[in-house]
């Protein structure tokens, strides 16, 4: 048996370079930019009910955000949902959550890089004397391969890998600059669209006359989760965030509010400007289509939106690189993956190996998407990647909600700077715990979306389970080679681990609260152990006579 560290956490070599605005922008890069990708494909599926599809996914996203705000501020360690599941449910479930989330992060890299260059190709006719992206394609049997778009996407992914090997600080600055520009641009488009041209009667007409079938609405709603996947990125960089217990709740809640506002605004604005079918052929640049219809600013807004869309979606792909590498870094520290993934580059203090491996997976996914036959008139690569996208997130989020309950009951001593609202106090094993009502609603909401993904996503329901099963096989083989039990949770000193994490994060107030709670618990347990059993009834027996 290989001897394990008492707490399972090696000393962190990751630098704490992420500030308040940087933390928010990591989340916005992963979530706020997704409307640039999701708007077209969701509207084509849900038609006049597209705002309802966004609303359903947005409400569940808000509950997921509150859950992550609590857990990430209480356990500020790289790994996010995988780490929460590991602590709450054990090693095997931690592996499954980690594998599912890594799948979505690698698809995140592929999908958003492809969409980023979809926006960039808005300018292709100006650069190539009237040639559009469709002119740079070849027929390979049933496959319509847009080879230039594929080449652009592959080179874009390689650039992101290089950027992240260089360091999270550079990536954070990149996010902050582009993300700020994107927020300003989105605000201008939304306000100008509603003021200058929006037709509320069109929204009503499409709602009443362009109703999707139940199957298409379910498919569109499950696709709408794309617009909100990525909140976990904030917790993925928690180990590199300054004062995470204070910062993470604020950034998570702020992100939930801002993304909900933008997603609903763009969806309602779109239904009042264009017919849903007009997004066909614009799956790669839907917001640019909306901007081009706005009078007065349309001539400027469309190309500006294409530029901003390309950049903001590109940094969303960048957040996928960060999240996949940090998650695998965390998993290797807890013997869920080989320690090879936890090796940090000496020069840049980044998990370079994990970045390259999962970036390579994203490259393969991009090739698969472009070489898959698609529906005529649709962007096949985007359709395939979007179909694959939601399985991992819904699976991971479901396990995170279950872990929320487990940690509330089994670890009531860890300070929680933020708790999900609406809790009921109850007793559990002699301790006072708070049962989260909103956690139940979030669990049911995520379960609903997972079922919808399995029922309506033809690629995800096959690739997702195969990916998780393959991860389990790798995990079992790795554990047996290390002489570790594959189906049992390794013993770890979580109390020491929590103290170490809080001290490294400079959350000294939380550390004092934690130590005080443990001391109070130990005092209660000590009093129980020290109480001797009562004397037996009856007279005291006489000692035996001396010889």
| Model pLDDT, residue 5 | 46
Q: How far is CA 45 from the centre of its chain?
A: 23
- pLDDT category at 374 given cuts 50, 70, 90 is low
What is the mean predicted confidence (pLDDT) over 328-332?
Answer: 84
Helix (H) or strand (E) holding 140: strand 138-140
For residue 40, give the nearest of 348, 379, 314 by alpha carbon.
Answer: 379
Token pair listed for 292: 């081009």
What is the mean predicted confidence (pLDDT) over 183-189?
Answer: 84
Helix (H) or strand (E) holding 144: strand 143-145
| Model pLDDT, residue 49 | 93
Has residue 81 got a pLDDT over 80? yes
Number of Cβ atoms within 10 Å of the Cβ of 141? 7
Looking at 167-297, list the stretches that DSSP marks H as alpha helix, in order from N- to C-terminal side: 168-196, 200-209, 214-224, 233-236, 244-271, 286-292
Question: Domain for residue 255, yes or no?
Answer: yes
| Model pLDDT, residue 183 | 81
| Model pLDDT, residue 158 | 94
Least confident of 178-182, 185-189, 237-241, 539-543: 539-543
Question: Domain for residue 437, yes or no?
Answer: yes
Most confident of 8-22, 246-260, 525-539: 246-260
What is the mean predicted confidence (pLDDT) over 166-186?
Answer: 71
Has residue 16 got a pLDDT over 70? no
Q: How far apart are the first and last CA of the chain?
A: 57
Q: How far is CA 464 from the centre of its chain?
A: 16
Question: Domain for residue 389, yes or no?
Answer: yes
What is the mean predicted confidence (pLDDT) over 2-13?
Answer: 47
Most confident of 28-42, 298-312, 386-400: 386-400
Distance CA 79, CA 322 (A): 11
Q: What is the 3-state secondary structure (H, E, C) of 92-117?
A: HHHHHHHHHHHHHHHHHHHHHHHHHH
Distance CA 491, CA 256 (A): 36
| Model pLDDT, residue 377 | 45
| Model pLDDT, residue 14 | 47
Q: What percent of the chain has pLDDT over 90?
A: 27
Has residue 27 got a pLDDT over 80? no
For residue 271, give the nearest of 206, 340, 368, 182 by alpha carbon.
Answer: 206
Could you tell me the CATH number of the domain that includes residue 227? 1.20.1740.10
| Model pLDDT, residue 4 | 44
Number of domains into which the chain is organized: 1
- pLDDT, averaged across the chain: 82
- pLDDT category at 6 given cuts 50, 70, 90 is very low
What is the mean predicted confidence (pLDDT) over 508-527?
Answer: 85
Distance CA 496, CA 491 (A): 12
Q: Where do we find the tokens 């650039």? A: 159
Domain span including residue 293: 24-492
Question: Domain for residue 246, yes or no?
Answer: yes
- pLDDT category at 215 given cuts 50, 70, 90 is confident
| Model pLDDT, residue 174 | 67
| Model pLDDT, residue 2 | 40
Question: Domain for residue 279, yes or no?
Answer: yes
More confident residue, 17 or 505: 505
Angle, vertex CA 50, rays to CA 49 and CA 55, nearest 5: 100
What is the mean predicted confidence (pLDDT) over 491-517?
Answer: 86
Give 471-480 pLDDT, tens digit per residue: 999 999 999 9
What is the mean predicted confidence (pLDDT) over 62-72?
Answer: 88
| Model pLDDT, residue 12 | 47
More confident residue, 326 or 392: 392
Has residue 292 got a pLDDT over 80? yes
Least confident of 152-161, 341-350, 440-449: 341-350
CB within 8 A of 506, min separation 6: which ones? 242, 243
Give 377-435 pLDDT, tens digit per residue: 456 788 888 888 888 888 989 999 999 999 999 998 998 888 999 999 988 877 788 99
Has residue 200 got a pLDDT over 50? yes
Three-state DSSP at 241 gives strand
Distance CA 302, CA 19 (A): 33
Distance CA 30, CA 64 (A): 14
Question: Domain for residue 72, yes or no?
Answer: yes
- pLDDT category at 172 given cuts 50, 70, 90 is low
Has residue 237 got a pLDDT over 80? no
Strand duo 423-428 + 143-145: pairing: unpaired
Question: Domain for residue 512, yes or no?
Answer: no
What is the mean predicted confidence (pLDDT) over 18-43?
Answer: 72
What is the mean predicted confidence (pLDDT) over 148-174?
Answer: 82
Distance CA 10, CA 13 (A): 9
Question: Domain for residue 96, yes or no?
Answer: yes
| Model pLDDT, residue 3 | 42
| Model pLDDT, residue 366 | 94
| Model pLDDT, residue 322 | 79
């Amino acid at each position: 048996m290989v001897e394990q560290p008492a707490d399972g956490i090696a000393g962190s070599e990751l630098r704490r370079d992420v500030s308040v605005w940087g933390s928010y922008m990591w989340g916005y890069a992963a979530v706020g930019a997704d409307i640039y990708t999701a708007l077209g494909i969701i509207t084509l599926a849900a038609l006049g009910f597209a705002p309802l599809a966004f609303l359903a996914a947005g409400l569940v996203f808000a509950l997921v955000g509150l859950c992550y705000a609590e857990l990430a501020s209480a356990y500020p360690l790289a790994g996010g949902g995988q780490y929460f599941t590991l602590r709450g449910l054990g090693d095997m479930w931690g592996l499954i959550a980690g594998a599912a989330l890594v799948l979505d992060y690698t698809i995140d890299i592929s999908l958003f890089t492809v969409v980023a260059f979809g926006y960039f190709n808005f300018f292709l006719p100006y650069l190539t004397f009237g040639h559009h992206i469709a002119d740079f394609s070849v027929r390979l049997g049933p496959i319509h391969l847009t080879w230039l778009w594929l080449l652009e996407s592959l080179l874009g992914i390689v650039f992101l890998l290089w950027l992240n090997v260089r360091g999270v600080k550079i990536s954070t600055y990149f996010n902050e600059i582009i993300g700020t520009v994107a927020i300003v641009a989105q605000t201008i488009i939304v306000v100008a669209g509603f003021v200058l041209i929006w037709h509320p009667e069109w929204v009503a007409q499409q709602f009443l006359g362009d109703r999707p079938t139940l199957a298409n609405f379910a498919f569109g709603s499950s696709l709408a989760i794309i617009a909100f996947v990525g909140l976990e990125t904030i917790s993925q960089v928690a180990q590199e965030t300054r004062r995470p217990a204070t910062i993470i709740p604020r950034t998570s809640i702020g992100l939930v509010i801002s993304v909900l506002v933008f997603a609903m605004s763009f969806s309602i604005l779109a239904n009042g400007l264009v017919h849903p079918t007009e997004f066909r052929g614009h799956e790669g640049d839907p917001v640019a289509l909306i901007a081009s219809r706005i009078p007065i600013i349309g001539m400027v807004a469309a190309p500006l939106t294409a530029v901003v869309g390309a950049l903001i979606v590109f940094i969303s792909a960048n957040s996928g690189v960060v999240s996949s590498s940090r998650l695998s870094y965390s998993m290797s520290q807890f013997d869920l993956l080989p320690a090879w993934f936890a090796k940090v580059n000496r020069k840049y203090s980044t998990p370079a190996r994990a970045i390259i491996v999962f970036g390579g997976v994203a490259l393969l996914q991009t090739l698969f998407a472009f070489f898959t036959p698609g529906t005529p008139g649709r962007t096949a690569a985007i359709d395939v990647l979007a179909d694959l996208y939601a399985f991992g997130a819904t699976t991971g989020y479901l396990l995170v909600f279950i872990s929320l309950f487990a940690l509330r009951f089994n670890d009531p001593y860890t300070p929680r700077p933020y708790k999900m609202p609406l809790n009921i106090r109850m007793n559990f094993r002699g301790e006072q715990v708070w049962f989260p009502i909103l956690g139940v609603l979030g669990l049911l909401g995520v379960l609903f979306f997972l079922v919808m993904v399995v029922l309506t996503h033809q690629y995800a329901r096959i690739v997702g389970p195969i990916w998780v099963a393959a991860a389990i096989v790798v995990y079992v083989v790795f554990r047996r080679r290390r002489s570790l039990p594959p189906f049992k949770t390794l013993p770890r000193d979580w109390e020491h681990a929590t103290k170490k994490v809080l001290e490294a994060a400079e959350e000294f107030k939380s550390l004092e609260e934690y130590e005080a709670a443990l001391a109070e618990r130990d005092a209660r347990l000590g009093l129980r152990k020290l109480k001797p059993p009562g004397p037996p009834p009856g007279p005291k027996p006489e000692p035996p006579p001396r010889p």
